[in-house]
Structure 1
Amino acid sequence: MADDIETVRVWLVERTYSDDEQNLIILIYATPDGTRYRRKERALTSSTDTRSTTAAVTVDSSNLGTVGDPAVQAQYATEATRMATEYEPTDTI
C-alpha cells in the first residue's frame, strides 16, 4: 500500500570521488542519529555538468541501509546534525 510508505529526511554527510571510476561522485546521506544511510552515485557526464546537490533529501525508509559501525554512526550523526543546523534541506551544497 503506497499510503503506508514511511519517508525519512536524510542529510548529506559525505561526498567522495570514486577511485575505481572516473567522473563518479558518491554521496552519502544519513539520518540525524547516524544509524541509517542512503548512498547515491552520480556520474558526471561532462565538465559542464551542473546538477545540484542538496543538503538533505527525503527517501522511502525501505531505501535506507543500516550503519553497523558505532564509530561511523557517531561520525554520521555529528555531520547530519551539523548540516541540519546550518542549512535548509533544499540548500545547494
Structure 2
Amino acid sequence: MVSESNEDEVRVWLVERGYDNRDLIILKYATPSGEHVFQKEVASQALDTVTAARDVAPTNLAAVDEPDLQERYATEVDRMREKHEPDDPV
C-alpha cells in the first residue's frame, strides 16, 4: 500500500513487470518524467499486492539515460495515472 505523500519521498508509478530465470519478479516504477526509475526484485512466492504507485526515497532512484526509454516510461506513467489511484492493486 502506498503511504501518504512525504516531503522526503518521490511518487513513482508501475511501468514494467518482468520475470527472470531465478524465479524473481522484477517491478519497475518510474517518475512521471520517465527520467528516474525504482526497481524492486521479489521472489514470486513472496510477492504481496502490487500497487499502481508507491513512494520511495530519492536515493533509491536510478537515472534512465536512454531518451526512448524515458519517453516509454513517461507514457506508461500517464496511462497508469489516468486509470488507477496510487493504492489500486494492479
Paired residue type of 2:73: Y
Q: Structure 1 residue runs of 4+, over 6 Å off?
A: none
CA RMSD of aligned residues (A): 1.4
Q: Which amino acid aligns with 1:72?
A: L
**Aligned residues with identical type, % of pairs:** 46
State the structure with more CA Rg.
1
Consecutive unaligned residues of structure 1, counting only runs of 5 or more, are none
Shift of 1:6: 2.4
For structure 2, the residue ranges without an aligned partner over 5 or more in a row are 1-6
User: Distance between the aligned counterparts of 1:57 and 1:90, measured in 2?
Assistant: 8
Q: How many residues matched?
A: 84
Letter in 1 for 2:81: A
The correspondence of residues 1-93 of structure 1 with structure 2, limited to 5 A, is 6-18=8-20, 20-21=21-22, 23-45=23-45, 51-93=48-90
TM (norm. structure 2) is 0.87
Q: TM-score, normalised by structure 1?
A: 0.85
